[in-house]
A = this chain, B = another copy of it.
């Protein structure tokens, strides 16, 4: 499908992509670029990629698909390094979780003949680094493309096919809409998880062992989400700060209403809200977006 694919950043997502590319035979050659030489040696030794180096420009050269799989805050620097040596007609994509800022930033800086088509595979685990990547990570998961003005139609089609070949379902969406929806489905839920775990840490000092021991009551499931990559999430919240901020405000308003209902022992109101939230789960299961159930506590 491609002659040379370059993955910039071979972490959990990048290394999973490299593994999937190999498995489904989508490129003659796959290389990566990482800032750490230890990592570059590792991904070659593990045969995840054919070559890897800190020299991003050299790795990106002659590639017909370049995938940025590094933190959002590194995009500017990456583009600065590669922009002058991109092959005409190269498809440039990324895997970042926020789109609007990145799309504008890169659109301005790359030559006209490059097809810049941001991707967001909605997949991941709480682990970081190439050791935890696996080729099936994208299977049955959604991948959202938010093509820039510099995206050729035939390239959008090709990139869509690429994601489909590694098992994803693909949607095309406007970057602004993407960021708004992901604020609700992903970014704020993660922030809330970080906050509940952080709050429990600040309370727990004297009761630390007890809180860990009985964490299966619900907290445990939040600690999983709250152990995702800190750098990645730092960048997501900052790049999507307006949406995040507005949604947090709404969240706090609703939480205060719940608190008041509890204090007033307003059982009817609580029951009504808890019944409503139960319904949305049914819709999610119906949409095939559920996974096998963990056994959690009360």
| Residues of A in contact with B (beta carbons under 8 Å apart) | 73, 97, 122-126, 137, 141-142, 144, 171, 177, 180-182, 184-204, 207, 210-228, 230-238, 241, 244-245, 247-252, 254-256, 258-259, 262-263, 265, 267, 270-271, 273-278, 280-284, 287, 289-298
Evaluate contact between B267 and A238: CB separation under 8 angstroms.
yes
A286 to B276, CA, bound (A): 36
Decide if A291 touches B289 in the complex (CB within 8 Å). Answer: no
Contact between A201 and B255 (Cβ–Cβ < 8 Å)?
no
Beyond the given A223-B277, A235-B267, could you list 9 further A-B residue pairs with CB under 8 A, ordered by the A residue number? A122-B216, A142-B216, A186-B217, A199-B251, A200-B280, A212-B289, A227-B282, A237-B270, A241-B263
- Among B252, B274, B276, B284, which residue has its beta carbon within 8 angstroms of that of A215? B284
Instruction: Chain B residues near A198: list those with CB within 8 A.
Output: 254, 258, 273, 276-277
Closest Cβ of chain B to A214, distance in Å, is 5
In angstroms, Cα B211 to Cα A294, docked, is 22
A177, A213, A276, A287 — most chain B CB neighbours (10 Å):
A213
Give chain B residues whose Cβ lies under 8 Å from the Cβ of A201.
276-277, 280
Instruction: Give Cα A281–Cα B225 distance, bound, in whole angstroms.
Output: 9
Complex Cα distance A258/B187, Å? 13
Docked-complex contact B216 and A289, CB < 8 angstroms: yes
Distance of A255 Cα from B234 Cα, bound (Å): 15
With known contacts A186-B298, A298-B186, A274–B233 Cβ distance under 8 A = yes
With A227-B281, A265-B238 in contact, is A215–B185 under 8 Å at CB?
A: yes
Cα separation A141 to B297 with both chains bound (whole Å): 9
CA distance A198 to B122 in the complex (A): 22
Q: From B212, B217, B241, give the contact of A283 (CB < 8 A).
A: B212
Contact (Cβ within 8 A) B262 A238? yes
Nearest chain B residue, comparing its CB with the CB of A273: B198
Closest Cβ of chain B to A207, distance in Å, is: 6
Asked if A293 and B142 make an inter-chain contact with CB atoms under 8 angstroms apart, the answer reads no
Is the beta-carbon distance between A280 and B223 smaller than 8 angstroms? yes
- Contacts A218-B186, A275-B230: A250 and B202 contacting too (C-beta < 8 A)? yes
- The residue on B at minimum CB distance from A193 is B218
A-B contact pairs, 12 of them (CB 8 A): A171-B213, A184-B219, A185-B200, A186-B214, A189-B196, A189-B221, A192-B196, A194-B258, A195-B255, A215-B284, A234-B270, A248-B258
